[in-house]
């Protein structure tokens, strides 16, 4: 249930109402004039309480806090060098799949920045399909990534795979990435939900849109409302020519259902570098708030995800086109 309060209310009466509702097993969460009461679908108001209330929405989605019914306005995430969400802007995030060395990530940061990226990506803890594949440089990788981003005036996005790493990674990053394989790792979601670090939640390989929204609600329920959702392709019956199936319709659907920024990841969606640019075009055209893309200057020798990495020249051409497309789209809105 969502209770929409009047613009001006008698705080004493509202406090009594919220206390009464909190007596149920639900947790009452209030942001300004919006009050979310998850798991409660009905309330009988006293006359003085009813006078404080503009509207009660009883039929709510499972992800109450993430719902547009709870917060109609877009969530806008502000970082030192980037703004994510809201109208008109487009946030580029780029970098290698893995942090490979201090020198390499510095080189890639320069390229990423030149293409208009304001966030540098790179994994220091890698979720690999095989335990024998490269697992990441760990804390050294985080240090290299942070230094490369600082050197270029960029923010950092990096994956947190395990709840025991949350505090350590928070020291180095501006955004926690939760990988597709961890979308429903509820203890990890709860752990990042207790922090104030923005979270980029990737859609699971077999995650429905409701699964993704419910997963985001775990983060929001912990008190962290700085969330963005990443569409990175899902598993379908056909992965012969693309690594995953890019569900672009998820972008406008999520934007309708939730106020969180939606970001596209064409790299993991298709898995082949020559398919990334057309899908990057499609990603911006879908109305996403930003994009995360993998780059490498020697993809054949990349420690991970080489086949999908864009070489610098291709990346620079792609981002130029993507920003031009975004400008064209903005001219339609004007």
Site residues for ligand PEP per CB under 6 A: 97, 123, 127, 179-181, 202, 232, 268
35 binds Mn ion (CB under 5 A): no
Nearest approach, Cβ of residue 73 and ligand PEP (Å): 28
- Give helix then strand counts, H and E, for the chain: 11, 14
The angle that helices 209-221 and 186-193 make with each other, rounded to 10 degrees, is 40
Choose between 127 and 312: whose C-beta lies nearer to ligand PEP: 127
Options 2, 14, 97, 288; binder of Mn ion; rule CB under 5 A = 97
d(CA 233, CA 324): 24
Q: Which does 105 bind (CB under 5 to 8 A by kind): ligand PEP, Mn ion, none?
A: none
Which helix (H) or strand (E) segment is 84 a member of?
A: strand 83-84
Nearest residue (beta carbon) to ligand PEP = 179
In the list ligand PEP, Mn ion, none, the entry touching 127 (Cβ below 5 to 8 angstroms by class) is: ligand PEP
Within 13 Å of residue 293, how many CA atoms lie on the same side as its CB? Answer: 37
Q: How far is the CB of 79 from ligand PEP (least distance, A)?
A: 18
Judged by DSSP in three states, 160 sits in coil
**Cα 7–chain centre separation:** 31
**Nearest approach, Cβ of 209 to Mn ion (angstroms)?**
22
Pairwise CA distance, residues 153 & 34, whole Å? 36
Query: Minimal distance in Å, beta carbon 256 to ligand PEP?
Result: 23
Selection from ligand PEP, Mn ion, none that 266 binds (CB < 5 to 8 A by kind) is: none
The rounded distance, in Å, linking the Cα atoms of 83 and 270 is 26
247 binds Mn ion (CB under 5 A): no
- Of 217 and 231, the one with the shorter C-beta distance to ligand PEP is 231
CA nearest to 273, candidates 241, 311, 240? 311
Alpha-carbon Rg for the chain, nearest whole angstrom, is: 21
Stretch that binds Mn ion, among 27-35, 75-83, 91-99, 143-151 (CB under 5 A): 91-99
Q: At what angle do helices 102-114 and 312-333 cross, to 10 degrees?
A: 40
The maximal CA–CA distance of the chain, rounded, in angstroms, is 71
Site residues (CB under 5 A) for Mn ion, limited to 274-313: 305
The entry of ligand PEP, Mn ion, none that residue 38 binds, CB within 5 to 8 Å by partner kind: none
Cα atoms in the Cβ-side hemisphere of radius 13 Å centred on 156 = 28
Using the minimum distance from each CB to ligand PEP, give the nearer residue, 1 or 97.
97
Q: How far is the CB of 145 from ligand PEP (least distance, A)?
A: 13
CB of 123 to ligand PEP, least distance (A): 5
Q: Measured between alpha carbons, how far is 217 from 238 in angstroms, rounded to an integer?
A: 30
CA distance 61 to 58: 10
Q: Does 94 bind Mn ion (CB under 5 A)?
A: no
**Residue 302 beta carbon to ligand PEP: minimum distance, rounded to whole angstroms:** 11
Instruction: Please list every residue from 172 through 231 that binds Mn ion, using CB under 5 A.
Output: none
**Which positions lie near Mn ion, rule CB under 5 A?**
97, 305
């Amino acid at each position: 249930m969502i209770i929409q309060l009047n613009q001006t209310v008698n705080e004493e009466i509202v406090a009594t109402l919220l206390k009464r509702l909190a007596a149920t097993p639900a947790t009452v969460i209030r942001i300004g004039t919006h009050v979310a009461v998850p798991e409660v679908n009905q309330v009988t108001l006293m006359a003085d309480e009813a006078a404080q209330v503009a509207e009660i929405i009883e039929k709510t989605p499972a992800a109450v806090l993430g719902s547009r019914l709870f917060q109609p306005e877009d969530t806008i995430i502000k970082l030192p060098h980037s703004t994510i969400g809201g109208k008109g802007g487009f946030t580029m995030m780029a970098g290698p799949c893995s942090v490979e060395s201090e020198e390499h990530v510095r080189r890639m940061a320069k390229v990423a920045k030149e293409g208009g990226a304001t966030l540098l990506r790179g994994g220091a803890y890698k979720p690999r399909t095989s335990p024998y594949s490269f697992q990441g440089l760990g804390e050294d990788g985080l240090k290299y990534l942070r230094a490369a981003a600082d050197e270029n005036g960029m923010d950092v996005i990096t994956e947190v795979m395990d709840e025991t790493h949350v505090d350590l990674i928070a020291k180095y990053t501006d955004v926690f990435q939760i990988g597709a394989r961890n979308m429903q790792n509820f203890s990890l979601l709860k752990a990042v939900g207790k922090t104030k670090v923005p979270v980029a939640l990737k859609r699971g390989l077999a995650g429905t849109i409701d699964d993704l929204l419910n997963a985001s609600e775990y983060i929001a329920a912990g008190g962290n409302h700085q969330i963005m959702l990443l569409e990175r392709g899902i598993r379908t019956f056909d992965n012969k020519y693309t690594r995953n199936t890019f569900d672009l319709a998820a972008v406008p659907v999520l934007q309708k259902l939730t106020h969180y920024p939606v970001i596209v990841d064409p790299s993991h969606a298709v898995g082949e570098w020559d398919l990334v640019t057309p899908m990057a075009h499609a990603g911006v055209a879908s109305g996403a708030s930003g994009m995360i893309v993998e780059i490498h200057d020697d993809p054949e020798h990349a420690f991970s995800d080489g086949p999908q990495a864009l070489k610098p020249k291709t990346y620079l051409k792609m981002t130029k086109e993507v920003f031009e497309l975004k400008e064209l789209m903005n001219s339609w809105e004007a």
